[in-house]
Amino acid sequence: TADSIYEPLTEETAIQLARRLNLFDAEADLVCREIGDGNLNLVFHVTEPTAGKGVIIKQALPYVRIIGEGWPLTLERARMESEALRIFARYAPEYVPEVYYTDNDYAITVMEDLSHLTIVRTGLAEGAIYPLLSTHIGQYMARTLYGTSDYALGAEARRELALQFHNPELCKITENFVFTYPLIDHESNVVEEGLRPLAEQIWRDAQLLREGARLKRHFMISAEALLHGDLHTGSIFASETETRVIDPEFAFYGPMGYDIGLFIANTLLSAFARSEHSREELLAHVTNVWDVFAAEFTALWQENNQEPLADAAGYLDDELLRIFQDAIGYAGSEMMRRVIGLAHARDIEAISDKDRRLHIKSSAALLARDLIVNRSHYKRAPQIVEALRQAD
Ligand code: ADP
Ligand code: MG
Ligand code: MG
Ligand code: MG
């Protein structure tokens, strides 16, 4: 079986693989470093320093890296990632790394080296702006989400494609760690001393739990489009001029609003972590990502739509409003888990002044609650920015 020939690469065998794939000149002097900083996988950076050339070899481990061998996790996620990157490249090639090679038995994806770019989460924490970030991400999301939907493909082709992306183990991680655990007093939550009273209020908030449960249910049953599934700012590389989305191992057929909500939530969290006067450009990304998404989605809809009823007056507007309100709710779920759950927002944790850090966490949790419970009151993107100002 596949599992029996699998073994983790080392820096030496990663170099051998790069040679075997003829990714460098036969005589090239190669060096390799394992640079993975994620929670789950190995990432080897193989370079030919004298030529300034490199490739990335990403390999899944059969367990969760930060937890260790005690928490097994399917190697199938490497196939999900490779397949998703190849499909996203059909719709938005300028926004994903090129995949050079996939080996499902070894759970390996060999891809374009993006080391000339910076991980956006890191850059934002250091005060970077990325002027084109929200325009690029809005286009990326509209093209990949619309392109893999019934509207573009027709129901039959969409169902066929969805069969490749069951991804139950990774979906279960999201269902538990994003949707369920932050709303109950679960042992995996990391609640900072001082935030406990607010957390306990959250766990007793019947309206919040009910709306959180509805969002989770919608996530589980809505096979609208092939999602990235983990589109936080740690999954985006950027510079002033370029943007690339990496790490779609959580890809599955789900609600379009989930990808949009994750991007919005993580941008809002970075905005909270900043001082008031340097927030504006991040808040502009929040409104712009929606505006660009909606405009691009509309253009794609008008260009090619397999749904004969799609021209019904008002239907496109209804769809856009529903996707927007889904995104608002999912942004709330994601913000809540970054404050109460296991995986926190690094830029907020890095704030050394305890009072300020606690104030930001409470504000973020209160905003998250409003986004979840009152998502149907949100009709326009600037309302998100107004709500953040009120919560702070
Ligand atoms: P994980 O699934 O474990 O989170 P990621 O795909 O997010 O793994 O990669 C972890 C890190 O490896 C990234 O934050 C980045 O520093 C580096 N990395 C991943 N892919 C590339 C790439 N194509 N080019 C350069 N560096 C990369
Ligand atoms: Mg990652
Ligand atoms: Mg780098
Ligand atoms: Mg990952």
Residue closest to 268 by CA, chosen among 289, 291, 296: 289
For residue range 68-93, what is the model confidence (pLDDT) as tens digits? 788 899 999 999 999 999 999 999 99
Query: What is the pLDDT at residue 4?
Result: 78
CA–centroid distance, 10 to ligand 4, in Å, is 19
CA–centroid distance, 119 to ligand 3, in Å, is 7
Residue 39: pLDDT band by 50, 70, 90 thresholds? confident
Contact assessment for residue 119 and residue 68, using Cβ atoms and an 8 Å cutoff: no
Instruction: Say if residue 267's pLDDT is above 90.
Output: yes
Atom of ligand 1 nearest to the CA of 65: 3
Based on the domain organization, do 284 and 346 belong to the same domain?
Answer: yes
Instruction: State the total domains in the chain.
Output: 2
Give CA torsion, residues 358, 362, 367, 369, to 10 deg: 140
Residue 275: pLDDT band by 50, 70, 90 thresholds? confident
Mean pLDDT of the chain: 96
Based on the domain organization, do 138 and 279 belong to the same domain?
Answer: yes
Residue 375: pLDDT band by 50, 70, 90 thresholds? very high
40 lines ligand 1 (CB under 6 A): yes
Cite the annotated binding site by residue number. Answer: 41, 58, 112-114, 230, 247-249, 337
Burial of 351 (0-12, 13-18, 19+ CB in 10 A): middle
Based on the domain organization, do 271 and 198 belong to the same domain?
Answer: yes
Mean per-residue pLDDT for 233-239?
97
Percentage of residues in the chain having pLDDT higher than 70: 99
56 lines ligand 1 (CB under 6 A): yes
Based on the domain organization, do 145 and 266 belong to the same domain?
Answer: yes
Based on the domain organization, do 142 and 265 belong to the same domain?
Answer: yes
CA–centroid distance, 130 to ligand 3, in Å, is 15
99 lines ligand 1 (CB under 6 A): no
Based on the domain organization, do 209 and 100 belong to the same domain?
Answer: no
Based on the domain organization, do 150 and 210 belong to the same domain?
Answer: yes
Contact assessment for residue 24 and residue 15, using Cβ atoms and an 8 Å cutoff: no
CA–centroid distance, 133 to ligand 3, in Å, is 17
Q: Which ligand is nearest to the CA of 38?
A: 1
- CA 175 from centroid of its chain's CA atoms: 14
What is the rounded CA–CA span in Å between residue 282 and residue 130?
9
User: Which residue's CA lies nearest to atom 8 of ligand 1?
Assistant: 38
For residue range 109-152, what is the model confidence (pLDDT) as tens digits? 999 999 999 999 999 999 999 999 999 999 999 999 999 999 99
What is the rounded CA–CA span in Å between residue 131 and residue 59?
32
36 lines ligand 1 (CB under 6 A): yes
Instruction: Say if residue 29's pLDDT is above 70.
Output: yes
Give pTM, 2 decimals. 0.97
Q: Which ligand is nearest to the CA of 98?
A: 1
Give CA torsion, residues 314, 220, 236, 265, to 10 deg: 70
CATH number for 260: 3.90.1200.10
Residue 3: pLDDT band by 50, 70, 90 thresholds? low
Question: Inter-axis angle of helices 133-147 and 76-91, to 10 degrees?
Answer: 100
Based on the domain organization, do 140 and 274 belong to the same domain?
Answer: yes
Mean per-residue pLDDT for 103-110?
98
Based on the domain organization, do 68 and 126 belong to the same domain?
Answer: no
Place of tokens 């992306």: 165
33 lines ligand 1 (CB under 6 A): no
Residue closest to 199 by CA, chosen among 182, 174, 175: 182
Instruction: Say if residue 257's pLDDT is above 90.
Output: yes
Based on the domain organization, do 286 and 184 belong to the same domain?
Answer: yes
CA–centroid distance, 357 to ligand 4, in Å, is 27
CA–centroid distance, 217 to ligand 4, in Å, is 23
114 lines ligand 1 (CB under 6 A): yes
Token pair, residue 176, equals: 């538990």
Task: Decide which of 112, 144, 173 is a domain's last residue.
Answer: 112
**What is the torsional sign of CA 95, 98, 102, 107?**
negative
ipTM: 0.97
Contact assessment for residue 176 and residue 329, using Cβ atoms and an 8 Å cutoff: no
Cite the annotated binding site for ATP by residue number. Answer: 41, 58, 112-114, 247-249
CA–centroid distance, 67 to ligand 4, in Å, is 14
Q: Which of 233, 246, 249 to mutate to test the pocket of ligand 1 (most atoms within 8 A of CB)?
A: 246
Q: Which of 37, 41, 43, 57 to mutate to test the pocket of ligand 1 (most atoms within 8 A of CB)?
A: 43
For residue range 339-356, what is the model confidence (pLDDT) as tens digits? 999 999 999 999 999 999
259 lines ligand 1 (CB under 6 A): no
**What is the torsional sign of CA 298, 299, 304, 308?**
positive
Task: Decide which of 112, 145, 173 is a domain's last residue.
Answer: 112
Residue closest to 234 by CA, chosen among 151, 318, 124, 140: 124
End-to-end CA distance of the chain, in Å? 54
Instruction: Say if residue 1's pLDDT is above 70.
Output: no
The domain containing residue 15 runs over which residues? 2-112
Task: Decide which of 112, 135, 168 is a domain's last residue.
Answer: 112
Query: What is the pLDDT at residue 38?
Result: 72
243 sits in which H/E element: strand 243-245
Atom of ligand 1 nearest to the CA of 39: 3
Residue 392: pLDDT band by 50, 70, 90 thresholds? confident
CA–centroid distance, 64 to ligand 4, in Å, is 10
303 sits in which H/E element: helix 280-303
84 lines ligand 1 (CB under 6 A): no
Residue 366: pLDDT band by 50, 70, 90 thresholds? very high
Q: Which ligand is nearest to the CA of 246?
A: 1
Instruction: Say if residue 37's pLDDT is above 90.
Output: no
Based on the domain organization, do 18 and 140 belong to the same domain?
Answer: no
Based on the domain organization, do 143 and 234 belong to the same domain?
Answer: yes
For residue range 148-196, what is the model confidence (pLDDT) as tens digits? 999 999 999 999 999 999 999 999 999 999 999 999 999 999 999 999 9
Instruction: Say if residue 258's pLDDT is above 80.
Output: yes
109 lines ligand 1 (CB under 6 A): no
CATH number for 39: 3.30.200.20
Instruction: Say if residue 2's pLDDT is above 60.
Output: no
